[in-house]
């Protein structure tokens, strides 16, 4: 593969304004070509791109095409930076009026050097917001696609789409469906193309055809070329997003150049200095569970009593720190090891961090999102009780994903909330073989009180369900109790999935009934009919009991349910087992019930719902 750096532009605005600046701050830059102006990280703009592409394992040759007016500057730069001087190509133009045009400059290199290979084209006078750019990831993605590749990024709020080449990209295939050069209207896309392309050798001949159609140099821009190739010729061209910003110096003035240089430099400094800490909360299933794994409907609520917190900080190498309690490597004695292993099991949270990181890289590679070459250290903490079905594992995965998205500047449009819930579930089921459904992951992504419909039709048509946040104002007091020494909650699912897949009538009808109870509970929540909601919670448990059987539910869960009912409280399982959630409308009896649970060796607490709309942190700190 061959790389070509383009620095042949004749933009005079910036050069003129530097020359005429009367502050004296920029006098040392008078006459300096745009690509040799200071960039971020204390480097010249072109220095950064040369360091990025100077990789023999990727490129057999790197060429630089410039104009006659600035040729000597780049010749000197090449000598000083170990760039092969013979690969600096002069296009012969000296002014804006006699310029060849960007596509013609590229075609000149291809024709004069008789190039017959795939090429990468990059504007050498383009500011990049991130100095940790990984071009190898771009090349791998290009080779995985049957067509050309355009790099794009999401415009900053202050940037206008009318000043850039805008692409519309199919999220499933990454194919660019439309290219618009500086559109005034007609699109809502904020995805901006930059002069960074990968072109297959078989497509190089199209440049001559395009140039024959465009005799004027002003029309020989890459924007017009891609409009012609994509919109008219309808060739397969794919897009890859870089989660960073770009600014082509081109025709900008001194104020814009200094503004973006300051913006990118400040952002780079701030990003590396500040640790990222994110939280995800435990949840209670209020209605419909466990039908989320069986095309049912559920209502669940995130609670602020219990949380998982992950902290990410940039580091030289990638480090996953074990938790001192959940990932023990030292023990007081063999008996100590025995007791801890019997109660806690062998699987801590470290595997969740590792699996999330692996799946995140895999997702971004597949979706055409190029990640920067930055390493980090991850550590986690959690107070969610283990093995009592409060979604402790998915909370760690969810918080880790939040950190990774923030660190790599991955937006909601890159990883939408419904897809994010699927991602978290896949980390657990595909990577770690944890039995789980979507409910927990959905409520931890959306946060608050969420109604979820997982109907077969929705899941097959769009790949996820219908998720609706519900009003959390004036909720009644829910309570939670859990066993202080629980068994593995994962076993509670038993063989129910096999029975459901085989079409057993009792199980299939039960899942439909769970969905009906959920719809009724949604109405009760809306009407503030707490007595109705309490009855529905009891019905939810009895329905679950009828299909799972007492042997499967286990004596610990049944004992907690029976104890709650002695005090007139509605009660059900909030998850897979090991805990119960209830609604007691008699506050005096709830005080008595708390004492009874504590005397029975259980942990009891009043639930504090987590309402994201009432928290400025939005689940992140």
Q: Which of the residues are catalytic?
A: 440
Residue 403 φ then ψ, to 5°: -65, -45
Torsion 381-384-385-386 (CA) sign: negative
Using alpha carbons, select from 479, 451, 453 the residue that is nearest to residue 465: 453
**Contact yes or no for 62/54 (Cβ under 8 A):** yes
Cα–Cα distance, 428 to 425 (Å, whole number): 5
CA angle, 477 as apex, 472 and 481 as ends, to 5°?
115
Q: 261: Cβ–Cβ under 8 A, 6 or more apart, which residues?
A: 38, 39, 40, 127
Token output for 335 = 């008996």
Torsion 23-41-197-115 (CA) sign: positive
Token output for 380 = 């986690």
**Contact yes or no for 203/235 (Cβ under 8 A):** yes
Within 13 Å, how many C-alpha atoms sit on residue 487's CB side?
A: 12
Residue with tokens 């990049």: 128
The CA-atom distances, in angstroms, between 374 and each of 271, 319, 352, 371 are 11, 12, 20, 8
Within 13 Å, how many C-alpha atoms sit on residue 344's CB side?
A: 16
- Strand blocks (E) in 252-382: 276-287, 297-315, 319-320, 375-382
- The helix or strand, by DSSP H or E, that contains position 421, with its residue range, turns out to be helix 417-426
Cα–Cα distance, 241 to 167 (Å, whole number): 11
**Contact yes or no for 369/241 (Cβ under 8 A):** yes
**Contact yes or no for 320/353 (Cβ under 8 A):** yes
Cα–Cα distance, 565 to 557 (Å, whole number): 13
The DSSP symbol for 157 reads T
Token output for 551 = 């042997």
């Amino acid at each position: 593969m061959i790389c070509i750096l383009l620095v042949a532009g004749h933009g005079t605005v910036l050069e003129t304004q530097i020359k005429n600046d009367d502050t004296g701050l920029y006098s040392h830059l008078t006459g300096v070509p745009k690509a040799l102006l200071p960039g971020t990280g204390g480097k010249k703009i072109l220095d950064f791109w040369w360091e990025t592409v100077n990789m023999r394992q990727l490129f057999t040759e790197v060429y630089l095409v410039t104009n006659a007016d600035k040729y000597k500057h780049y010749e000197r730069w090449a000598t000083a930076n170990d760039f092969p001087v013979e690969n600096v190509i002069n296009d012969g133009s000296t002014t804006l009026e006699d310029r060849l045009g960007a596509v013609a400059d590229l075609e000149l290199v291809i024709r004069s050097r008789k190039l017959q290979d795939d090429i990468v084209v990059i504007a050498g006078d383009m500011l990049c917001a991130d100095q940790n750019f990984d071009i190898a990831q771009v090349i791998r993605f290009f080779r995985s696609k049957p067509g050309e590749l355009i790099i794009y990024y999401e415009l900053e709020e202050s940037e206008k789409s009318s000043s850039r080449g805008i692409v519309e990209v199919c999220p499933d295939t990454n194919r660019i469906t439309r290219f618009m050069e500086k559109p005034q209207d007609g699109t809502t896309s904020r995805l901006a193309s930059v002069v960074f392309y990968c072109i297959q050798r078989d497509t190089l001949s199209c440049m001559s055809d395009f140039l024959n159609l465009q005799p004027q140099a002003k029309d020989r821009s890459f924007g017009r070329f891609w409009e012609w190739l994509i919109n008219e010729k309808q060739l397969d061209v794919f897009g890859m997003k870089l989660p960073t910003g770009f600014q082509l110096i081109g025709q900008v003035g001194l104020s814009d150049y200094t503004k973006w240089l300051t913006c990118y430099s400040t952002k780079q400094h701030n990003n590396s200095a500040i640790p990222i800490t994110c939280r995800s909360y435990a949840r209670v299933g209020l209605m419909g569970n466990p039908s989320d794994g069986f095309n049912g409907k559920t209502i669940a609520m995130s609670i602020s009593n219990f949380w998982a917190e992950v902290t990410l900080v940039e580091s030289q190498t990638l480090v996953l720190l074990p938790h001192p309690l959940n990932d023990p490597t030292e023990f007081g004695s063999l008996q100590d090891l025995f007791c801890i292993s019997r109660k806690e099991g062998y699987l801590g949270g470290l595997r969740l961090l590792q699996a999330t990181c692996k799946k995140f890289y895999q997702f971004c590679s597949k979706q055409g999102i190029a990640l920067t070459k930055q390493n980090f250290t991850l550590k986690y903490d959690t107070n969610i009780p283990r093995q009592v079905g409060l979604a402790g594992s998915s909370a760690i995965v969810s918080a880790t994903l939040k950190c990774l998205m923030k660190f790599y500047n991955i937006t909601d449009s890159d990883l939408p909330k419904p897809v994010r819930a699927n991602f978290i579930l896949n980390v657990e089921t595909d990577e770690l073989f944890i039995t789980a459904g979507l409910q927990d992951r959905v409520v931890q992504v959306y946060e608050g009180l969420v109604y979820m419909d997982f109907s077969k039709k929705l899941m097959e048509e769009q790949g996820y369900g219908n998720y609706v946040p519900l009003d959390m104002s004036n909720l009644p007091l829910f309570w939670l109790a859990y066993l202080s020494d629980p068994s593995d909650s994962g076993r509670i699912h038993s063989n129910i999935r096999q029975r459901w897949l085989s079409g057993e009538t009792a199980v299939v009808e039960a899942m439909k009934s769970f969905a009906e109870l959920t719809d009724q509970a949604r109405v009760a929540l809306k009407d503030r009919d707490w007595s109705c909601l309490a009855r529905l919670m009891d019905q939810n448990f009895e329905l679950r009991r009828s299909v799972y059987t007492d042997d499967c539910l286990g004596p610990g869960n049944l004992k907690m349910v029976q104890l709650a009912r002695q005090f007139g409280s509605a009660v059900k399982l909030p998850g897979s087992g090991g805990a119960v959630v209830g609604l007691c409308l008699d506050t005096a009896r709830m005080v008595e019930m708390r004492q009874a649970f504590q005397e029975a060796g259980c942990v009891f607490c009043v639930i504090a719902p987590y309402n994201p709309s009432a928290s400025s942190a939005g689940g992140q700190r």
